[in-house]
Amino acid sequence: MSLVEVENVSFGYSRQRTVLQDVSFNIKAGASVGLVGESGSGKTTLLRLLLGLARPNVGSIRFDGALVDPADRRFMRAYRRNVQAVFQDPYSSLDPRQRIESIVAEPLRSLRIPGNRRAMVQAALAAVGLEPNILRRYPHEFSGGQRQRIAIARAIVPKPKLLLADEAVSALDLSTKVRIVELLKELASGMTLVFVSHDLGVVAALCDEIVILEHGRIVEAGPTRKILDHPQHDYTKALLASVPRMPGRADSQG
Amino acid sequence: MTPLLAIDGLTITAGATPLVSNLSFTVGAGERVGLIGESGSGKSLTALAATGLLAPALRAKGSARLAGTEVIGAPNRVLDGLRGDATAMVFQEPLTALDPTLRIGRQVAEPLRRRARRDGQNLTGRALDARMLALLEQVALPEPARIVRAYPHEISGGQRQRVAIAMALACRPKLLIADEPTTALDVTTQAEILKLLDRLVRDTGMALLFISHDLPVVAQVVERVVVLRRGVAVESGPVDAVFAAPRDDYTRTLVAAAGAFDAALGGAR
């Protein structure tokens, strides 16, 4: 069954410029979908629409069959509990003046989720591979990779059905990136993941489906292996050909 | 023959904290060397020290010789003679590398005139315009006549980086230092800029010091690599050998990580 249905969505920040043009795709419950595109492709705008931060000019987005309507406050409260986000830069996405406990508990407070908040925060920290004894510490005491783990803990603490990650590993060093991709992969086995990225290698390692965007249109979508091995659209082919590859592969051009 | 750039026992400290420790490597004429490292490895500081651009709060010891002249501790008078002639630099973010208040033409004209003056010529008017257009064509900028009249914000990121490369080329340096020149660019633009750098280095016979955290990108453009970790060179050698059979544990981690993402892509191209 589809968890998210995006139907004929068009969107522009002003009337003159359309950022998304007739975008349609479905996300199956439990899938990991990579939204891939270069700057200006509309991938971040699409994510904003999925988050309910803006409403499509044309078309609709449905979640679990219900229309996502940013003006419907009751719906949005339930929606926020089900849909959480992780952003690119863990230095600007964590409030430097709040302790880790307060940061991770934020969705529990603002969504008024009842229960033992400290226990929920500790469970989320354990799930992202952090020690429970960091509750009283501040973001600046942590490395970039650890901060991204904290941001992920904050996103999963209300137990969302859908996790949206916007270039969530792009600002990380290579060795850290590998570990955060492993973590996301592990978490994705228990929820639905939409991973926005320009990095095809990371998407290939993490996602089982890919949607490729160019200038606000979907040019190609489907299972990751199929798209990587048999790209149909010229833009997909050009994108794949542009990815620098490691030397020493059998079919490397050298 | 003296190498173009000879770094010998270079140590850079901020107060008591060492940022680069006892680093030594050379770049010979026409050679292409990659400096690989993650954030905080000291790769950019090394390039800044080698060009005398280190922030005053940082202290450098040891030696960095550019075309035989010592840079560490050298006065500006000496450094001025080396900049442009011995080396020129291209930085990561072309938007901040260019002056937002000047048209592209004026920015490119500056190093061209400076180079001509060094060669004892006075380059102005039509001759300068002609050289400028030729230079923009050399870096494959479309409609060079329009670009010279544009401000940096009016052209794309890839075009801005081509302008920055053109300004470096205008100096006709013996060594081009490129610090993460494609990191801020889209992947298709990156491929174009890498191809351009490769062609320019071949055509002009310049040496290249290419600084990057991205292993496959480095592999596209250099012959030899130096791997830095927290200011220490942990491994160096021919790029194919280092990537195929890394000897150091840290290099092995990096190569394995890059290899994992590369393998996920499969044989696609």
Angle of CA points B158, A194, A185, to nearest 5°: 105
Q: Rounded to whole angstroms, how far apart are CA atoms B194 and B182?
A: 8
A chain contacts of residue B213, beta-carbon cutoff 8 Å: 173-174
Asked if residue A252 has pLDDT above 60, the reply is: no
Residues B193 and B72 in one domain: yes
- Are the CB atoms for B41 and B29 separated by under 8 Å? no
- Are the CB atoms for A19 and A13 separated by under 8 Å? yes
Asked if residue A250 has pLDDT above 50, the reply is: no
Q: Rounded to whole angstroms, how far apart are CA atoms A225 and A209?
A: 8
At residue A16 the predicted structure's pLDDT band, cuts being 50, 70 and 90, is: confident
From A38, A229, A244, residue closest to B268, measured CB to CB:
A229
Cβ-based contacts under 8 A for chains A and B: 100
Asked if residue A254 has pLDDT above 50, the reply is: no
Q: Rounded to whole angstroms, how far apart are CA atoms B96 and B239?
A: 31
Q: Does the CB of B220 have a partner CB in chain A at under 8 Å? A: yes
Cross-chain Cβ contact B39/A247 below 8 Å:
no
Residues B215 and B146 in one domain: no
Nearest Cα neighbor of B50 from B65, B30, B28 is B65
Q: What residue has token string 């790769």?
A: B43
From A178, A238, A243, residue closest to B265, measured CB to CB:
A243
Look up residue A58 and give its two tokens: 């044309």
ipTM surpasses cut 0.95: no
- Are the CB atoms for A69 and A75 separated by under 8 Å? yes
Q: For residue A170, give the chain B residue with the closest CA.
A: B183
Cross-chain Cβ contact B39/A173 below 8 Å:
yes
* Mean pLDDT value across residues A112-139: 95
Residues B210 and B82 in one domain: yes
Which of A163-167, B16-20, B118-122 shows the lowest mean pLDDT across its residues? B118-122
From A175, A248, A251, residue closest to B254, measured CB to CB:
A175
Cross-chain Cβ contact A200/B213 below 8 Å:
no
Residues B106 and B72 in one domain: no
A chain contacts of residue B223, beta-carbon cutoff 8 Å: none
- Are the CB atoms for A188 and A3 separated by under 8 Å? no
Most confident of A39-48, A62-71, A245-254: A62-71
At A1 the pLDDT is: 78
Residues B153 and B238 in one domain: no
Of B172, B202, B222, the domain-final residue: B172
At A249 the pLDDT is: 59
A chain contacts of residue B189, beta-carbon cutoff 8 Å: 38
Of B128, B157, B172, the domain-final residue: B172
Cross-chain Cβ contact A242/B257 below 8 Å:
no
Q: Rounded to whole angstroms, how far apart are CA atoms A60 and A68?
A: 8
Residues B81 and B102 in one domain: no
| pLDDT, averaged across chain A | 93
**Other Cβ atoms within 10 Å of A191 Cβ, number:** 18
Of B172, B187, B203, the domain-final residue: B172
* Mean pLDDT value across residues B89-110: 93
Q: Rounded to whole angstroms, how far apart are CA atoms B33 and B145?
A: 34
Residues B80 and B119 in one domain: no
B229-265 tens-digit pLDDT: 999 999 999 999 999 999 999 999 999 999 999 999 9
SS3 content of chain B, % helix, strand, coil (to 5): 45, 25, 30
Q: Work out the burial of residue B243: count CB atoms within 10 Å of its CB; fewer than 13 is exposed, 13-18 middle, 19 or more buried.
A: buried
Look up residue B224 and give its two tokens: 């030899």
Residue B91 within a domain:
no
Phi, psi of B220 (to 5 degrees): -70, -30
* Number of folded domains that form chain B: 2
At A61 the pLDDT is: 98
Residues B69 and B195 in one domain: yes
B32-43 tens-digit pLDDT: 999 999 988 999
Phi, psi of A156 (to 5 degrees): -95, -5
Asked if residue B48 has pLDDT above 90, the reply is: yes
At A124 the pLDDT is: 96
From B38, B214, B266, residue closest to A228, measured CB to CB:
B266
Which helix (H) or strand (E) covers residue B85, if one does? none
At residue A253 the predicted structure's pLDDT band, cuts being 50, 70 and 90, is: very low
Q: Rounded to whole angstroms, how far apart are CA atoms B201 and B141?
A: 17
**pLDDT-above-90 percentage for chain A:** 87
- Are the CB atoms for A23 and A59 separated by under 8 Å? yes
Q: Rounded to whole angstroms, how far apart are CA atoms B43 and B230?
A: 9
Angle of CA points B142, B213, B91, to nearest 5°: 45
At residue B185 the predicted structure's pLDDT band, cuts being 50, 70 and 90, is: confident
Contacts of A57 (CB under 8 A, 6+ apart): A10, A11, A12
Q: Does the CB of B194 have a partner CB in chain A at under 8 Å? A: yes
Residues B128 and B188 in one domain: no
CA distance A254 to chain B (A): 8
Residue B127 within a domain:
yes
Cross-chain Cβ contact B187/A231 below 8 Å:
no
Which domains, ranges and CATH numbers included, belong to chain A? Answer: 2-242 (3.40.50.300)
Q: Rounded to whole angstroms, how far apart are CA atoms A90 and A166?
A: 11
At A95 the pLDDT is: 95
* Mean pLDDT value across residues A248-253: 52
Asked if residue A251 has pLDDT above 50, the reply is: no
Residue B156 within a domain:
yes
At A14 the pLDDT is: 87
B61-92 tens-digit pLDDT: 999 999 999 999 999 999 999 999 999 999 98
Cross-chain Cβ contact B257/A243 below 8 Å:
no
Asked if residue B269 has pLDDT above 60, the reply is: no
Cross-chain Cβ contact B188/A38 below 8 Å:
yes
At A89 the pLDDT is: 87
Identify the CATH number of the domain in which residue B4 sits.
3.40.50.300
Residues B24 and B153 in one domain: no
At A171 the pLDDT is: 86
Range of the domain at B24: 1-86+175-269
Q: Rounded to whole angstroms, how far apart are CA atoms B123 and B172?
A: 15
What is the torsional sign of CA A122, A123, A125, A129? positive
